[in-house]
């Protein structure tokens, strides 16, 4: 297993955008006694014991799931690319012992909160007052917003190219009139970026704006939930919404979508 993990880190992890985080997971696994086992000798019970051990140590359910996904893909690579066709993947055999993932956040903007948020943002100053409506209109992630460049904006077509995304797949985001309005009058930076804010500074400014507006329990990432839900409420189908938001699976898209029954009444007739 140790040799397999090191090969996986070298040949697979190194090519991922999230390589640094995954390398830390591999380092953790390399320190575990499983690393000294022959890969073919590891059974479902061993994976179940590892899962229980991590849970007892206080590891977050999401962390355990990602570690198991890494191990499962390692076995897939071993079978399909490394000449070990007869190898049995033990990870699915321990599926019932996996810790339950916490429910996705369901926080959406309440009545009047958007107006209060924007008023507080204007008082706060800086770019956050433009970044907030941009996030609500585009469903873009914080890092994607911070990395925006003018050269990727096609005003005539009303489309923004996002060349690097969390999923590794570039996408083109259609822009509403309100989204374009958020860019009006922005000065052109020498570095070519649209915004002068880093991902962490966006979150910090948003937190302060929420405090000034008296809004509790809202994070900047919740605006992505809000935007995704609004796209459905406008009548777009799941494939159209996924093309805008960049979600890879309908299951993930569902976790980011929270439709209000009150907003669906008129569509029922």
Q: pLDDT (tens digit, 0 to 9) for every residue of the chain, 269 residues total?
A: 999 999 999 999 998 877 888 999 999 999 999 999 999 999 999 999 999 999 999 998 889 999 999 999 999 999 999 999 999 999 999 988 888 876 666 788 999 999 999 999 999 999 999 999 999 999 999 999 999 999 999 999 999 999 987 777 788 999 999 999 999 989 999 999 999 999 999 999 999 999 999 999 999 999 998 998 888 888 888 888 888 888 777 766 776 566 566 655 666 66
Active site residue 79: no
Hey, what are 262's tokens?
């009150």
Instruction: Identify the pLDDT of residue 12.
Output: 94
Beta bridge mates, 149: 193
Catalytic residue among 166, 178, 198, 248: 166
Instruction: Identify the pLDDT of residue 179.
Output: 94
Cα separation, 156 vs 269, whole angstroms: 37
pTM over 0.85: no
Instruction: Identify the pLDDT of residue 248.
Output: 73
Instruction: Identify the pLDDT of residue 259.
Output: 59
Beta bridge mates, 80: none
Instruction: Identify the pLDDT of residue 241.
Output: 87
253 within 8 A of 245, measured Cβ to Cβ: yes
Catalytic residue among 54, 130, 141, 225: 141
Active site residue 156: no
Active site residue 224: yes
Where are any strands of DSSP class E within the chain? Answer: 153-154, 159-162, 171-174
**153-154 and 159-162 beta bridge pairing:** antiparallel
Active site residue 50: no
The owner of tokens 């991922």 is 16
Catalytic residue among 208, 221, 255, 258: 221
Active site residue 166: yes
26 within 8 A of 5, measured Cβ to Cβ: yes
Catalytic residue among 25, 130, 224, 225: 224
Q: Label residue 98 exposed, middle or buried (CB < 10 Å: 0-12, 13-18, 19+).
A: middle
17 within 8 A of 168, measured Cβ to Cβ: yes
Active site residue 2: no
For the chain, the farthest-separated pair of C-alpha atoms sits apart, in whole angstroms, at 64
């Amino acid at each position: 297993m140790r040799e397999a993990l090191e090969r996986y880190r070298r040949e697979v992890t190194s090519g991922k955008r999230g390589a640094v985080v995954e390398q830390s997971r591999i380092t953790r696994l390399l320190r575990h006694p499983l690393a000294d086992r022959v890969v073919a000798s590891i059974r479902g019970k061993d994976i179940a014991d590892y899962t229980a051990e991590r849970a007892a140590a206080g590891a977050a359910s999401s962390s355990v799931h990602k570690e198991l996904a890494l191990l499962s893909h390692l076995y897939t690579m071993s079978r399909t690319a490394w000449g070990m066709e007869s190898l049995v993947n033990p990870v699915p055999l321990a599926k019932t012992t996996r810790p339950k993932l916490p429910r996705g956040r369901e926080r959406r903007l309440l009545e009047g909160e958007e107006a209060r948020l924007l008023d507080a943002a204007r008082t706060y100053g800086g770019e956050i007052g433009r970044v907030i409506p941009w996030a609500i209109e585009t469903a873009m992630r914080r890092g994607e917003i911070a990395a925006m460049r003018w050269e990727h904006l096609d005003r005539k077509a009303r489309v923004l190219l996002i060349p690097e995304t969390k999923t590794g797949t570039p996408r083109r985001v259609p822009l509403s009139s309100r989204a374009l309005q958020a860019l009006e009058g922005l000065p052109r930076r020498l570095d070519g970026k649209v915004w002068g804010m880093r991902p962490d500074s966006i979150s910090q400014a948003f937190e302060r704006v929420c405090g000034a507006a008296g809004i509790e329990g809202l994070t900047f990432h919740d605006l992505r939930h809000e935007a995704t839900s609004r796209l459905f409420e406008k009548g777009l189908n799941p494939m159209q919404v996924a093309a805008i938001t960049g979600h890879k699976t309908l299951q993930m898209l569902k976790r980011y979508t929270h439709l209000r029954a009150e907003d669906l009444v008129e569509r029922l007739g």
